[in-house]
């Protein structure tokens, strides 16, 4: 089939009528399908059920150094957990603090600390007239909600397959002292699935920000979340690159096991320079007596080491890979060559990014919803929920059973066709 822009008005109207008939058939099916968030499926959660049997009332719950994990203490996490997550993100254990179950909570906590107490003795952001943040777009909506919550002005920075537009980043941070950070999902980014190139990582590590308290907020959420073990993305380790560039304190690196073990009961961590970690511990001493060490021990004894995590993630990939491939196959079959949409084909992570014709995303999402398929809201991948082109839609294929996913993507494709034709006819 030729591109829609090459068709006559009558050809488009004929297609539109036929598509609307099919759409009404979908509506009569009373579907209730949800692909709005990147949640692990039931089958993925089942992979970690053995963790529930790792510890029992008869087990010794002491660490190698004799620490009793049932009691208070060990503010920044047990050594075994530091080594496990450290190996996973290529960071020495002395550069890690283990938190509770959510890296999002650690990121919120970090922004909050900067807001109330500053960074390494710097002025608290709450006392400044203006605080700004760079936001690669499309990006992760929950990042943007944190900075919006604290009243921080967010600046869109276009994402490329190599990472954020570094010419723009370098120019902005070198000129504006009110810019205090940049959100980064460097590996299998949310939502496009892009991974930062070596050049991008090195340029970020070598930034010369005007603000001394500027930091890279490095959310390494998908560090081991490969779909293809023999063809996976590899990125440079940011803390090491910052040290080489003479900026040892420039990055906060966040990680968790949320999509490795149980999302609601994992372990999270922050990795950074010793200077930054010492600053963070000042708050922790007031904030907590220590996080859940029993859960930390449970994870260590279940995975044992990095090899254990690697083998576990291969099982995740076996479940996820057919879903990602099904989405691509259906989009290619239904929309390929029509000139009304493009989408990414990531090698890992949890999302596929779809771009429609300008001005169509909101209506596509609305039509899907009316026919029983819930997707991520249009605009969610941009600060303040405002996509200037109204074109980006995040597809989350992980949670639904593959049979439901196929129906959802076929309906999604139909909605793209209907809305695109209406848009072209309106011109």
Closest CA to 113 of 101, 97, 93, 90: 97
Count CB neighbours of 404 within 10 A: 16
Give the CA count within 13 Å in the CB-facing half-sphere of 146: 23
Cα angle 425-426-427, degrees, rounded to a multiple of 5 = 90
Strand-pair partners of 356: 341
* CB-count burial class (<10 Å; 0-12, 13-18, 19+) for 1: exposed
Q: Which helix (H) or strand (E) holds 159?
A: strand 153-160
pLDDT at 1 over 80: no
For the segment 128-145, the average pLDDT, to the nearest whole number, is 98
- Alpha-carbon gap, residue 114 to 420, rounded angstroms: 45
Tell me the whole-structure pTM to 2 decimals: 0.97
Three-state DSSP string of 89-147? HCCCHHHEEECCCCHHHHHHHHHHHHHHHCCCCCCCHHHCCCCEEEEEECCCHHHHHHH
- Sign of the dihedral through C-alpha 82, 83, 88, 94: positive
256 backbone dihedrals φ, ψ, rounded to 5°: -155, 170
pLDDT at 423 over 80: yes
Quick one: pLDDT at residue 84?
Answer: 98
pLDDT tens across 310-354, in order? 999 999 999 999 999 999 999 999 999 999 999 999 999 999 999
Both structure tokens of 304: 């044992």
Looking at residue 179, the DSSP 8-state letter turns out to be E
Cα angle 320-322-323, degrees, rounded to a multiple of 5 = 65
pLDDT tens across 90-124, in order? 999 999 999 999 999 999 999 999 999 999 999 99
Quick one: pLDDT at residue 149?
Answer: 98
pLDDT tens across 243-284, in order? 999 999 999 999 999 999 999 899 999 999 999 999 999 999
Phi-psi region of 242 (alpha: psi -120 to 50; beta: other; left: phi over 0): alpha
Strand-pair partners of 354: 343, 393
- Alpha-carbon gap, residue 334 to 367, rounded angstroms: 17
Helix (H, G, I), strand (E, B) or coil at 33: strand
Quick one: pLDDT at residue 79?
Answer: 98
Quick one: pLDDT at residue 230?
Answer: 87
Quick one: pLDDT at residue 229?
Answer: 87
For the segment 31-52, the average pLDDT, to the nearest whole number, is 95
- Alpha-carbon gap, residue 416 to 373, rounded angstroms: 13
Quick one: pLDDT at residue 279?
Answer: 96
pLDDT tens across 219-253, in order? 999 999 999 988 999 999 999 999 999 999 999 99
Quick one: pLDDT at residue 355?
Answer: 98
- Alpha-carbon gap, residue 196 to 14, rounded angstroms: 44
Quick one: pLDDT at residue 427?
Answer: 86
Instruction: Tell how far CA 256 is from the center of its chain.
Output: 11
- Alpha-carbon gap, residue 216 to 214, rounded angstroms: 7
* CB-count burial class (<10 Å; 0-12, 13-18, 19+) for 122: middle
Q: Which domains does the chain have, with CATH numbers?
A: 4-44+310-426 (3.90.1150.10), 61-304 (3.40.640.10)
Quick one: pLDDT at residue 191?
Answer: 97
Q: What's the start-to-end Cα distance of the chain, in Å? A: 21
Give the CA count within 13 Å in the CB-facing half-sphere of 329: 10
- Alpha-carbon gap, residue 98 to 277, rounded angstroms: 11
Task: Work out the mean pLDDT of the chain and round it to a whole number.
Answer: 97
Evaluate whether 179 touches 215 at the Cβ level (below 8 Å): no
């Amino acid at each position: 089939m030729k591109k829609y822009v090459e068709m006559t008005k009558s050809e488009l109207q004929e297609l539109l009528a036929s598509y609307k008939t099919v759409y009404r058939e979908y509506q009569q099916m009373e579907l209730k399908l949800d692909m709005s968030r990147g949640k692990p499926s039931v089958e993925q959660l089942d992979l970690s059920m053995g963790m529930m049997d790792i510890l029992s009332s008869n087990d010794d719950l002491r660490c190698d150094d004799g620490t009793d994990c049932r009691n208070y203490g060990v503010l920044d996490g047990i050594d075994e957990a530091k080594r496990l997550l450290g190996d996973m993100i290529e960071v020495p254990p002395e550069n890690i603090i283990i938190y509770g179950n959510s890296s999002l909570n650690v990121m919120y906590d970090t922004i909050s600390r900067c807001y109330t107490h500053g960074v390494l003795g710097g002025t608290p952001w709450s006392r400044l007239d203006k605080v700004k943040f760079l936001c690669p777009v499309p990006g992760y909506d929950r990042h943007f909600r944190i900075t919006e919550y604290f009243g921080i002005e967010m600046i869109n920075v276009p994402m490329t397959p190599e990472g954020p537009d570094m010419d723009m980043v370098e120019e902005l941070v070198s000129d504006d002292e009110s810019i205090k950070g940049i959100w980064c999902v460097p590996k299998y980014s949310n939502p496009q699935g892009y991974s930062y190139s070596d050049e991008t990582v090195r340029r970020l590590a070598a930034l010369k920000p005007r603000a001394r308290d500027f930091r890279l907020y490095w959310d390494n959420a998908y560090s081991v979340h490969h779909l293809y073990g023999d063809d996976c993305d590899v990125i440079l380790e940011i803390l090491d690159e910052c040290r080489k560039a003479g900026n040892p304190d420039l990055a906060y690196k966040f990680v968790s096991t949320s999509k490795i073990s149980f999302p609601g009961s994992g372990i999270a961590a922050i990795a950074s320079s010793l200077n930054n970690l010492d600053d963070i511990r000042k708050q922790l001493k007031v904030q907590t007596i220590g996080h859940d060490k029993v859960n930390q021990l449970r994870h260590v004894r279940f995975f044992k080491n990095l090899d254990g995590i690697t083998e576990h993630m291969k099982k995740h990939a076996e479940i996820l890979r057919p879903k990602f491939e099904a989405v691509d196959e259906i989009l290619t079959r239904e929309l390929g060559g029509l000139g009304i949409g493009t989408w990414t084909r990531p090698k890992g992570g949890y999302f596929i990014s779809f771009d429609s014709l300008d001005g169509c995303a909101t209506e596509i999402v609305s039509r899907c919803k009316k026919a029983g398929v819930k997707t991520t809201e249009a605009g969610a991948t941009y600060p303040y929920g405002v996509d200037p082109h109204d074109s980006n839609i995040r597809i989350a294929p992980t949670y639904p059973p593959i049979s439901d996913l196929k129906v959802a993507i076929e309906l999604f494709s139909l909605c793209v066709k209907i809305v695109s034709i209406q848009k072209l006819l309106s011109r």
